[in-house]
Amino acid sequence: MSVFALGLNHTTAPLDLRGRFAFAPEQLAATLHGFKERLKRESEEGTKAGAGGTPTFFINGYKLVGAQPVDAFKKLIDQELAKKK
């Protein structure tokens, strides 16, 4: 369900919703902080790995960046499988 369907402002929805569910505001704040820290950590890991865009795919050390057609994956995977023969 959309926050708009609930009549909530999308920028304050997490805070507006806290009274409608069975958790304390402190739990919400801790959970949101945990998500923020996880996103930061994962973003840093992606940068270190060479992922400069979303999505970025790694296949045997080769990088595909951005939306790619299925054929791009098939070509790379087929090339890598051919090396194994």
Domain boundaries, the chain: 1-49, 52-85
Given this model, what pLDDT does residue 14 score?
56
Given this model, what pLDDT does residue 68 score?
94
Joined tokens for residue 39: 């996103």
Joined tokens for residue 34: 């945990």
CA-based diameter of the chain, in Å? 61
Given this model, what pLDDT does residue 1 score?
46
Q: Classify 80 as helix, strand or coil.
A: helix
Q: What sign does the CA torsion over 40, 19, 15, 8 have?
A: positive
From first to last of its 85 residues, what are the pLDDT tens digits of the chain?
454 555 555 555 555 565 666 667 777 788 888 889 999 999 899 899 888 888 999 999 899 999 999 999 999 999 999 998 7
